[in-house]
A and B are shown apart, each in its own frame.
Chain A
Amino acid sequence: MAKVIETIKMKTVDAPWFLIYRRKSENIFVRLLMYTMLINIAYIFLYPVFYMISTSMMTIDDFVDPAVYWIPRTVNWANFTMSLEAMRYWYSLGNSTYIALLSAVGQLVSCAMAGYGFGRIKFPGREFLFMLVIFTFIVPPQTIIVPLFILYKNLGWIDTYNPFVVPSFFAHGLRGSLFILIFRQFFRRQPWELEDAARVDGCGALRTFATIFLPLAKPALLVVFLFSVVWHWNDFYEPTMYLMKPDKYTVPLRLSILSTSLQEVMGGSNEFYNEPLVMAACFLVVLPPLLLYIFAQRHFTESVERTGLVD
């Protein structure tokens, strides 16, 4: 620490007035500049979302008309009703929810267990197992997709939800290793006296975990749950591999076949397939995770800050 301070002392120069740091009474000019910049960046980030929402309500005439900018002349709900029908939205929503919720719960339990083992218990072989976790964290799932596909086919798991749900209950699944890391870091930061206290009270390792550490881990659990639900919902790669029957399709998969399924619904004609309709369908796909995030936003940010994610 002393060394750091020494270096700071050495490097201090007379800074120009606009760079001089004042925490409480910050220069109004600098502040204004910062806010303008940030609002601009935020606009860039949110622009496609706004564009999608605005376009999804337009008729095709509004869309082509250069005079119509952002606000459509009439709100065209037909885009939504048609894409709801073409995507079989409520049905595939059920499929998506099933996968996302079940996998998230599985990962919650199993990754917390693995994280606890890594974070709190020193046992022979821990280093080796932790290396395996890092390994699964880094290697993209695409590298083993060919043999994995053959394996699932032989197990008869194609067109079922087992390829998503079963690995999730065993601390794998979509980014399971990241969740193990989050839990490991969280458990490592808890005071070490907790175990001693538990042992004095006669708790075994499992009881200690279930009654002391799991309730403590609420913020970490919330963060992992939200991440897992949203990522499973948005996952497109694995569902395209393992789900062939349209009956089993998740919402994003439905979006990918929107053009053909619209033709079926409309009796062979494709005159209704246009950009505003596609935007409406996209909006329907994006909406559930976005709503979840907006509602959970406060707890989410708080939990992220409390857990620190990694340390």
Chain B
Amino acid sequence: MRLTTPTTVTVKAVGREKLELPKHLFVLAVLAIELLPFYMMLQISFKNNVMFNANPWLPILPGATLVENFRFAYHLILPYAANTIFVSVTAATANLFFAILAAYFFARYKMPFSNVLWSAFLTLMLIPSVTNIVPLFTLLKKLNLLNSLWGLIAVAVASGQVFNIFVLRNFIEDLPRDLFEAAEMDGAGHWKQIIHIVIPLSGPIIGTLFILSFLGCWNDFLMPLIILRDPQLFTLGVGLIYLDGDYAKDWGHIMAAFFMASLPLLIMFLFTMKLFIRGLSAGALKG
């Protein structure tokens, strides 16, 4: 008896491993497809056009070309990156600031027709942003905000509101009402309640929304293309397409620039991944 029991267990474990293998292979295959563009971008950034035409797929050892490509990319990208960081940080911060205020109101206060107001507000999520482009352009022109980073920020702040308020409102509604009431008895007005209760307790979700807003601004292509004219105001999204030369494409330069442009996001994501995942799963479990 003592011998048979462990044997059974081993057989079961092997059986499970056999089942796991195809799953692992599938996951690895998906991962490979996901990482292929990144791999291509990285390995091409090591090459010049001659090397690329001779060997488009396989990596080569880093050499002088790599340094030349990245030096070019660095000088090209720096002003674009500075503009992008300025726009992304300002827009994401302002976005969250206004969204928290609105979400706090919707979550904590009921007034006549507040549900109607909320529903009307949510329908904005259903309107495709592309349909707004022409009126938006006209509006920005009238406000004298065309060809200005502030114009870009204003559009980013406004367009991110609905989603952020939607997420934050649900989160704030789930915070115990007693906490707000205790703070009220302690002498906290609305501002203090937002600063001392809402923001600290919504940390993960605010962090996640900040990252999402930041990513949205960083990766935005359409709005900068429409709003910005002067090359010195370009953000990365538009700046990089001008690398796509009229007659010949210098693939090494392009890919080195693309790689450098995506590097800050990669680093940011690596450091904030835990927060990001926590934020996405917030509210999934009570307690």
Q: Is the A/B pair a real complex?
A: no
User: Residues of A with Cβ closer than 8 Å to B?
Assistant: none
List the interface of chain B (C-beta within 8 A of A): none
